[in-house]
Amino acid sequence: MPRSVLADHELAALLADDVPCGDLTTDALRIGPQPARLSFIARQPMTVCGVEEAVRMFELAGAAVKAELASGDVLSFQSPILTAEGDADVLHRVWKTAQVLVEWASGIASSASAIVEAAQHDGRRVPVACTRKTVPGTKALSVKAVRCAGASMHRLGLSETLLVFPEHRLYLDEAPAVTIARLRAAEAEKRIVVEVGSVEEAVVWTEAGADVIQLEKFPPERVAECRAAIAHSRMRPLLAAAGGIKADNAGAYVAAGADVLVTSAPFTAAPRDVKVTFLRD
């Protein structure tokens, strides 16, 4: 079973944000002490994520919860996700925050899963890596959703990878091979990724010794052109297609010769729909 990637204090803060001074409606109706049950059910197919976080939210509020499955599971219509029991005021306090969290995280996971499934052509599969362009403040759960879907992270942040953008090269007055040599000497264990905007630049940085050539917003036909242009080079960098990669074009990029697909699309995916049903004991 995956664990919650959000600490108790973070989950409590999410609940406090939605219920800063009590649940006015439930309190005014005076139904809080009544015993209640609820269930979360998938209203559409999805790769689910955020189950463990939702379960922990209910537990922190004092409810008894049972997870019916785990983050990363692929659900069909009407698949059960979790059930919770407790006082009505407890379930009403947690219900919407937990539901939204599961719906949002499942949207990311489902989108990433669709791209992973589509990233193949003629029996050849390539890995899918998601960028660091997460919604601010949501990185931990976004990364969990990506990994639940079978994708990886392109980079978690600036501190862990060497990725040379044109914006870096603007301030360099040296040959590309010198830049690569300096980076390799400074960070011997790191792969050196260079983002390029043309086939010609790809050839230059391939010959300079880059480990990965990141093709920024290349359409599939230009990826194929780039693959052909470096085919006979003594260097064999990976070609990472980045920008505009989605499930409906992933296969075309694989067919064109990309070795890795880099995408931000899952982070703007629509949430998946989770039905919440309350029952009275």
- What residue segments make up the domains of the chain, in order of their start? 8-116+269-280, 121-268
113: left (phi over 0), alpha (psi -120 to 50) or beta: alpha
Q: Which of 51, 82, 61 is nearest to 19 (CA)?
A: 61
Structural domain 121-268, CATH architecture: Alpha-Beta Barrel (3.20)
Which strand (E) or helix (H) includes residue 134? none
- With both helix axes pointing from N to C terminus, report the angle between 220-229 and 199-208 in degrees, rounded to the nearest 10: 40
Tokens 């009403």 — which residue? 92
pTM for the complete prediction? 0.95
Question: What is d(CA 129, CA 245) in angstroms, rounded to the nearest whole number?
Answer: 10
Contact 90, 121 (CB under 8 A): no
Question: What is d(CA 56, CA 50) in angstroms, rounded to the nearest whole number?
Answer: 10
Structural domain 8-116+269-280, CATH architecture: Alpha-Beta Complex (3.90)
Q: What is the DSSP letter of 72?
A: T
pLDDT tens per residue across all 281 residues of the chain: 688 999 999 999 999 999 999 999 999 999 999 999 999 999 999 999 999 999 999 999 999 999 999 999 999 999 999 999 999 999 999 999 999 999 999 999 999 999 999 999 999 999 999 999 999 999 999 999 999 999 999 999 999 999 999 999 999 999 999 999 999 999 999 999 999 999 999 999 999 999 999 999 999 999 999 999 999 888 899 999 999 999 999 999 999 999 999 999 999 999 999 999 999 97
